[in-house]
């Protein structure tokens, strides 16, 4: 029997990237996964001009042995979120795993200019898409977990540290979802519902592969453009991290904290789909002679500044 056989999951923001990888690996572990997002087959979102759809993600869940259910939802529209949760209640009667990976900020992040020269309108929209959507989804989905007094909530962020992330609006968004996991854990402390945050490493998302002009088959060639790409990971790696957390009967001990895919891989003994076990923190220390932490913020900031120009379109999670 698979470890998540019979479990019901909702991956909000499952169209591509980490969300798709998480949904697929929850399926690999046996779960039924509701895959939501704004890009459905024949009905693309108005945001990034990307070909991926939630229907494809649901099919990947099926192919891995789970059951994928694609539902087109704009998580910034309360009526659509309510309808989604009511559907899950009607069809399943429970929700065991909630993953918030809603982003939609690809065209909004401004790296380079200081905050006083950036667009306030873009910053506001980023918060609405990448923070308010999480709050709204939690507001309506978490009660389904509390009713059964069980469940795992995962907030997907960028980085497991307090170091600066290169752009003030972006930094605030990614730190906010970490704080959201912590705040929910406090209010859920008398229940058996666990809230925490998870970060992938240097993500080999669909857009990142395209940016470097490579495919998953020859992705290592991307390291010719940016050497750190050699320590990148597929979206399935963080997917296996979330699946391992969901299968852990003692996951409640992790409530309120943020965890990295590379550390969870060591703890739960899983690999990426190619059999590798990339560890971003160790790569950083080997390459730059400094630990990946705010203990040496100057070294980290210097590396970040040099990397931004190379990796702008789909800023990877470090």
> Could you give the residue numbers annotated as active site?
170
Kindly write down the DSSP assignment for every residue of 126-172, as one continuous string: HHIIIIIHHHHHHHHHHHHHHHHT-EEEEEE-S-SSSS--SSHHHHH
- Cα 186 to Cα 13, 101, 182, 196, distances in angstroms: 25, 21, 7, 11
Buried b (16+ CB within 10 A) or exposed e, 199-209: bbbbbbbbbbb
Q: Are the CB atoms for 25 and 37 separated by under 8 Å?
A: no
Residue showing tokens 């800023």? 315
Q: Which two tokens stand for residue 39?
A: 């890009």
Q: Are the CB atoms for 274 and 304 separated by under 8 Å?
A: no
The DSSP element (H or E) to which 198 belongs, if any, is: strand 193-199
In this structure, the chain runs to a length of 318
* Angstrom distance (rounded) from CA 169 to CA 157: 14
Burial of 169 per CB tally in 10 Å (0-12, 13-18, 19+): buried
What beta strand segments (E) does 53-117 contain? Answer: 67-72, 97-100
User: Cα 157 vs. chain centroid, distance in angstroms?
Assistant: 6
Contacts of 158 (CB under 8 A, 6+ apart): 165, 170, 174, 199, 315, 317, 318
Residue showing tokens 């009511």? 86
């Amino acid at each position: 029997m698979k470890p998540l056989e019979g479990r019901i999951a909702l991956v909000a923001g499952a169209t591509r990237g980490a969300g798709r990888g998480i949904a697929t690996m929850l399926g690999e572990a046996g779960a039924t996964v509701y895959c939501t997002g704004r890009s459905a087959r024949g009905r693309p979102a108005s945001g990034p001009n990307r070909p991926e759809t939630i229907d494809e993600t649901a099919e990947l869940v099926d192919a891995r042995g789970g059951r994928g259910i694609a539902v087109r939802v704009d998580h910034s529209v309360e009526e659509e979120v309510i309808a989604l949760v009511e559907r899950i209640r009607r069809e399943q009667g429970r929700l065991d795993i909630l993953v918030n990976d809603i982003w939609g900020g690809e065209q909004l992040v401004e790296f380079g200019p200081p905050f006083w020269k950036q667009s306030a309108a873009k910053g506001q929209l980023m918060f609405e898409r990448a923070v308010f959507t999480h709050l709204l989804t939690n507001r309506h989905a978490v009660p389904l977990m509390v009713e059964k007094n069980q469940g795992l909530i995962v907030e997907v962020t960028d980085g497991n540290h307090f170091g600066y992330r290169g752009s003030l609006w972006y930094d605030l968004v990614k730190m906010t979802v970490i704080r959201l996991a912590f705040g929910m854990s406090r209010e859920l402390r008398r229940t058996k519902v666990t809230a925490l945050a998870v970060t992938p490493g240097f993500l080999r998302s669909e857009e990142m592969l395209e940016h470097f002009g490579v495919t998953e088959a020859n992705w290592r060639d991307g390291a010719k453009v940016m050497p750190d790409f050699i320590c990148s990971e597929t979206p399935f790696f963080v997917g296996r991290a979330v699946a391992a957390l969901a299968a852990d009967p003692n996951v409640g001990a992790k409530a309120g904290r943020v965890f990295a895919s590379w550390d969870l891989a060591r703890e739960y003994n899983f690999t990426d789909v190619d059999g590798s076990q990339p560890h971003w923190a160790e790569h950083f220390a080997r390459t730059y002679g400094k630990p990946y932490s705010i203990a040496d913020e100057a070294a980290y900031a210097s590396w970040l500044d040099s990397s931004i120009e190379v990796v702008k379109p789909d800023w990877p999670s470090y």
